[in-house]
Structures are given as structure tokens and as C-alpha cells.
Structure 1
Amino acid sequence: MSDPRTTTRRRLLSGLGALGVGGALSACVGPTITGRGTGASAGAEAAVLPAVSADKATGTVSFAHWRAEDKAVFDTLIAEFRTQNPDANVVQDVAPSNDYQSTALQKIRGGQIGTAFVAFRGAQFVAMNKAGIYAGLGAQPFVDGYFAELVKAGQAPSRAQMGLPYQLVFNMPIYNEDAFEQAGISEAPKDWDGFLALCEALKGKGLVPIAWPGGEPANSGQLINSMVMNAMPTDTAFADIEAGRGKVTDDWFLQVLGQYKQLAPYFEPNSTGTSSEPLQQLFASGKAAMLATGSFHVSAVRKLGAEFPIGLVAPITVAADKARYEGVYNATFILGVNAAGEGQQAALKWLEFLSDPVNAATYANGTAQHVTVKDVDYTNADLKHTAPWLEKKTMLAPRFQFNDLDIRAAVEAACVAVVSGTSPDQAASEAQGVIDQKLR
């Protein structure tokens, strides 16, 4: 039986599935992703690390991150790292993403945990940088092995490189191509009416059109990225809301909230109380046509038994001729070395090791996630299948324009409230009240 993920399988879904790019990405000069929004993150700069030593690493590196689903792949990489550095070891300290978002800064501040660590792009990186947790990377030669545009998210205002975003992900719904084909969907919807019609067709086949984790803040907000990408009056509209130059009570965002209300019948029952884990199973079993999180969950649903081809699709919430972007991306999982404690050279050697294209390929192909490292050979079938998105016009995921997590939470909570039955006007007014309090 042929692999259902292969790019040679006949597909009717033009514009949604793979286009035969295959492994050619390793020879490309780099992604042509546009619309990156705001520039470097704000924050203080810690001491700059000396150049990575040519000597073998010694000692134990505590590696703090949130990707439990990547632990086995990291174990494989750690084994190879130890082969190359017999007197060194790396121990993973893994926390759930929600916990990592809220507690990592305090947990790794002293340097006992997280000699090497990661941060989410946006608010967490800014907070960690302001706290002086990141040691400046300086002129490490391995930094040149990354796509320069994609590592800007790990820079301080001076453009000094503090961390290295490692993952290149697409924060937009993944979908079951077989389910779409069986529902008679032959191309990506080009406007809002088309997306609603798509949902109706899927519902008519007895499927949950969109599995949406409305009860899990870390992932419920992923859908907002593509819901607003074309609706925003400017590419920095969320940053403007945080700065007080815009409001969530503005007409454009009220319209987005109204569209969430229209989507509510197409979410799973009790969507505002559901987390992503059971929805991954719902999607993997073929009972949900879309999972409104992102490409970072492809590996998880494969492990749960999904055998159908998986693509990426973003709702276009405006008229077709008003759409500027096809989807959204993020460069995140910002690798860094802890400025506190001891063992910075061993941690730096670990970053150097992960930055090698061969090792980055092991990570990428083992986790079904593209990376920001150049010259990586992608052999994973799902990465080949979604590789065309590296050439589409995509926008930096807008939710990461927020550097204040309370403000971001208020905006995203408004979307959840509307799905629960609150009117868009009331939900926006309540969210703006929280924002106004933060801005005083």
C-alpha cells in the first residue's frame, strides 16, 4: 500500500496540498516569507559569550523546553552529542507549554535549571531578555548557518543576537485532505463565504468541521492568527492595540468577532472547554476535518494513528480581492544560553551541535517541523508535503505582536466569549476594559 502522505498521490486540492517540491528545499536560498510585522524584540542585553571552544564539551547541560512530543528525538540527538563529547551530557527538563509559558522565567533564572533553554517568540522572549537571562551569543560562527531573516526574533533592539529561533512553523489549521476530497472540496476557499461553505459541506458529511481548543489559552489563540491576517487595517494592528493606538472595539475587530460567532456551529461540542490533546485524537481518528492549531501538531496526530494526507489551510476572512496573505508562519523555540550559573561553554556547544544541518535535519524529520537552519535535507513525508508553504505569501503570526500576555489574553478571551454566546460588542468592550487598565 502506498504512503498516503506522498506527494505523488493524486490530489484534487490545488493550492492546498504539496506541489512536488519534495526535498528541493535543501538547495534553496531560503524561504520567501513576507509580511514579518514588527522588528526585533525589546529587552536588555546580558554579557556576550566568547566564541564557542574547539575543545570537546564537559559537564552536564540542563536543557529546558516545552516540547514533550520531541523528547525522543532530542534523546537521539543527545546520544550523538555524547559520542562527540564523551565527558558531557544533556538532561532534558520538559514542562507542558502552558506551564512553561507562565513559570519558565522564574524556574531558570538562577541557572541551576536551563543552562540551555528556549523561549516562545514575543512576550516570553521579551520578558526573559529584559530579565537578563539570555547570554549574548556574539559572533558565533554557527549563527551564519541560519536564515538571517528568520532569526531576527531572537535579537535585542541593537540587533545583537541573544537567541536562535529553531522552529519554522505554520500557525494555521491543519486538515484531512481525504475528508475534504470526500466532501467535494476541490480548491482552497478564496473568501469568507467560501470558507463557511466548506465548513457546511464537511458538516454535511457528519464530520466536525473544525476542532478548536477553546479551553486551552496556549492553543485557542492560534486560530486568531489567520482570522485577522487579512482583516487587520495594518500589519501592526495588534501592536497598535497594545500601544493604545487602536482598540478591540474598532470596526475591523468587531467584524472578526462576528466571524467567530459564525464559526461556532462548526466547532466541536463544548469547544470553549476543550484542550488540544483530545482534539488531536478526534482529528487523528478522522472525525474532525480540521485541527485549528498548527503544523507543530502534525507529528502528534501521526503518533495517534493518522494515516491520511495532511495539509494546511487558512480561513480567508475578507473578499478574495482584499486578501494580502495566504497564511501565517512563526519562527519560535528560541534557543539560548543562560547567563546565570555555570556551564555556558557546554551549553554553547549544545547549541552549536543543534545548528549543524545534519543534526537540524534529524530534529526536523523526526518531529515533522521545518527549521530555520540552512542546507537541511528534508526527508520527512509531511515536511515534503507542506514545503510549498515556504514559497507562499505568509504573514508573521499576528498574536506574537503582543508583548504583554495580559493584553493578549484579553483579546483572545474575547473570541472565546463570543463562541460561548456573548455578543461581539460586549466581548470587545470587556476586553478593552482590561487593556485600558493595563495601559494606565
Structure 2
Amino acid sequence: MTTFSRRDLLRLAAGTGAASLLAACAGPGGSSTADPATTGSGLAGPREGNISFAHWRAEDKDVFETILADFFKSNGGKIAVRQDISPSADYQSTAIQKLRGGSVGDAFTAFRGAQFLDLAKAGVSTDLTGQALLQKYETSLIAAGSDGGKQLGVPYQLVFNTPLANTDLLSKAGVGEAPKDWQGFLALADKLKSQGVAPIAWPGGDAANAGQLLNVLVVNNAPTDDALGKIETGEHKVTDDWFLTVLKQYAELRPYFQNSATGTSSDAALALFAQGKAALLATGSFQVAGVRKLGATFGIDLLAPITTTADKAKYEGVHNATFILGVNARSTKQGAALAWLEYLSDPVVAGAYANGTAQHVTVKGVEYTNADLKALAPWLTRKTALAPRFQFTNLDVRGAVENATVQVAGGKTPEQAAEEAQKVIDQKKK
């Protein structure tokens, strides 16, 4: 797991001074018998035609439509881009089949971790190494798009997988600063509950987002930064003491989740938070725009539960580099797809995307004007860990680990949930 240096972050924010870096959503690669990623042979092809851009950010649709219209004008009407949008859970499970067909996703996005690696192994990701557009990005922030020494994609978003906080509700509860240890966090949750609101809105019924909370509950409990991923290799188990501690903390949080938390969808949890009925939203900064779209006007900050004593805490939160842009190796319109990625890489265009969606980007020299991005500026210099949830390369194993947390939140004992999950993990590893 890596952390941002102050220099890296402030370089990315150059041009704004007050800009902040947000996080939405790469393990080691391996050999594969699938077709290798191309070396960019089609990237010099015709820059014309109608192409498909596949992604999962439905909340970004309108902003992208504006950018697409400007792109169409800028290329003299030679390239038209259609958005092909799927819900994040569906995109995670079905994108590889669709993209391999070549008819969808001439340009596409990928989640960091398992999906990116699977697409690379399947020969879907065109090698972008040496392309001029890479010079527009902070090199240290696009490493998640490389595999086997090749730059197979470009992470576009930098987001915090750290709970959102309603600062108005925190102030009403008399909270002046974020708790620095686990007991302090539980005390905060008690104060919030006494105000008649749910301390934490958690989408336990949505597999794509239920696991976001796991990120912040793991980083200070894990014996090493890569411990969560090592559950997949067998070097660690969910029955280990450190992970049982994580599960026990899920049990301690039961009284502070909203009613029926394990069956709550992401949209329902978002609405609960946006309506001021929950103080924290246990997902990440990638949902800031969604909160505002529902009409919320309260102040927003980030607040991660510190799961240890203050002296043992290594990290204040979690970040991720995701929404990895790529060109489909199976596409017959790679030249046009590359032109679209080049357009997105322009600092002015990237700024329009960032400010319109409340998503920071990895492009250099972007000016951020969005009020929420500015409000979160202090997180630029805080020590945040690279989201460990995406260390898994086997989604079945990740699912078993995350399901154990849901089971505990639903009432199962940590020990029983861990034992059942470990049996599944042992089977899935074979």
C-alpha cells in the first residue's frame, strides 16, 4: 500500500493552491494464455467514426454529455461518442464479456485491481506506453494503470474511500474535531444517536459499495499494508486475530447503522444521508455529487473511524486511483478512441469534468472551482492509505471476505462469520 507525499499532492493541485484531491474507485500481474495486450498498432488508425465509451458512472452522464458535445465540435464532427453506462456492480461482473466482443467500449473504464488485471490478461487493454497523453498526468498517480511494465490504462479519478460527514450534524452534536481513537469514535456515534439521527448510513445490501467501509476499518488494524490481499494467497486468514478485530468492530457498530442496514441499497443510504437523517455516509467522496444532486446544502467533510489507539494509528483515511481509461484492443476504431482519451486529458477538459462531478482527477494543472473540492483541501496533506479492498485479484475471495462483514453486521458472531468465510476462501483459491 502506498501513501501520497505532500509534494505529489501539491503538484497535482498546482494552479489552485486550495484544491483538494478526492478519491471514487493494482495487484501483481501474472502470466496468461489469453491474447496479449496490443502494442498500439491500431492507435494510429483513422480518427473518425462513431465510438462507444463504456463506464459505470451514471451520475456523471450529464457532465460527459456536455464534454462529448464539445469534443464533437472540436473534431469537426468526425468523431461522435456514445456513452454505454452500466450500474457499478453489473460493470464489475459483465464488462469483460462485453468489451471482448469489440462492439461496446471502443474506449472504456476499469476498476483498479481485479477488473483491470482481468481485462489486461484477456487482451482487452491496448498498450498506451509512450503515448503523448501520458505526459498530461502525474506519473506517481497513474501507476494503478500499469501492468507488466506497460501502461495499459490511465486512472482518471483520485478519490477518498473514506466516510462522508455532515458537518452541520457534527456541530449540533458538539463535535469539534474528529476522534483520534476507536473509543472516541464510538462516543461520537453515541452523541449523534442521541440527536435522533442514524450515526452511520451504510449500504450493506449493495455489494459494490458495502465493502468501502472495510477499507478504513482495515488500514490501522492490519499487521502490514498488504495484509488484506494476502488473505487471497493464504498468507493470512480471516480467522487471524487482526481480522477478527475488524469483524468485532463491525459488531460494535451495529447499534449505529440505520435500520435494516444489511439490506440497504446504495441509493437508499445516499438519500438517508442527503436528507440529514444520517450523520455519516460510509462509502466515499465519489458520492459527493450525488448528495448535492438530491438537494443537500449542509457542509461535507470526510471522517474515518480510527480503529486503534491514537498512538498506533498509521493512517487518517483511505484514497484510491480508479476509473482507469483505456482503449479496447478489440476495437476497429482505436484511433478515434485514443482521440477521445487525449481530449479528456486536456487540463481544461479535465477541470470541467472534475468541477462538474466533484471528482478530482490525476491530470496536471487542473483548476478546481467546486466548493466541495475546496472544502476538502486539508486532506491534501493528510496521510491516507491506498484502498486495501482492491488488493484482491480474485473477486470471489473478495466477496467472501466482504460478506463476512455483512454477516456480522446482521448479527452473526465474528468467529462464526470468519470460519464460514475462510471455508469459502479456501475453495475459491483452488
Q: TM-score range by the shorter chain?
A: over 0.9
Aligned to 1:25: 13
Output the CA distance in 2 between the equivalents of 1:278 and 1:165.
28
Amino acid at match of 2:222: M
Say what the alpha-carbon RMSD is for the aligned residues.
Answer: 2.2
* Cα 1:224–1:319 shift into 2, 3 Å: same
- Alignment partner of 1:174 out of 152, 160, 164: 164
Aligned length: 414
Give the alignment of 1:37-436 within 5 angstroms.
41-42=29-30, 45-49=36-40, 57-85=47-75, 86-158=77-149, 160-436=150-426
Output the CA distance in 1 between the equivalents of 2:292 and 2:10.
19
% same residue:
57
Output the CA distance in 1 between the equivalents of 2:217 and 2:19.
23
3-state DSSP of counterpart to 1:289 = strand
Output the CA distance in 1 between the equivalents of 2:155 and 2:16.
19
Output the CA distance in 1 between the equivalents of 2:65 and 2:316.
36
Amino acid at match of 1:125: F
* Cα 1:371–1:25 shift into 2, 3 Å: same
Structure 1 residues 140-194: Cα deviation after superposition (integer angstroms, max 9, x where no partner): 1110111111111110122x10000100010010010000000000011000000
3-state DSSP of counterpart to 1:64 = strand
Output the CA distance in 1 between the equivalents of 2:285 and 2:342.
25
3-state DSSP of counterpart to 1:175 = strand
Uncovered stretches (5+) of structure 2, i.e. residues with no partner = 1-8
TM superposition outliers: structure 1 runs of 4+ over 3 Å? 21-24, 27-33, 38-45, 50-53
Contact 1:168 1:371 in 2 (8 A): yes
CA deviation after TM superposition for structure 1 residue 46, in Å: 1.1
Amino acid at match of 1:79: A
3-state DSSP of counterpart to 1:210 = strand
CA deviation after TM superposition for structure 1 residue 336, in Å: 0.2
3-state DSSP of counterpart to 1:339 = coil
3-state DSSP of counterpart to 1:27 = coil
Contact 1:41 1:155 in 2 (8 A): no
Amino acid at match of 1:87: K
Contact 1:230 1:323 in 2 (8 A): yes
* Cα 1:358–1:67 shift into 2, 3 Å: same
Output the CA distance in 1 between the equivalents of 2:41 and 2:309.
53
CA deviation after TM superposition for structure 1 residue 255, in Å: 0.7
Output the CA distance in 2 between the equivalents of 1:23 and 1:338.
31
Uncovered stretches (5+) of structure 1, i.e. residues with no partner = 1-20
Output the CA distance in 2 between the equivalents of 1:207 and 1:383.
26
Contact 1:410 1:435 in 2 (8 A): yes
Contact 1:52 1:348 in 2 (8 A): yes
CA deviation after TM superposition for structure 1 residue 65, in Å: 0.3
Amino acid at match of 2:14: S
Output the CA distance in 1 between the equivalents of 2:357 and 2:328.
25
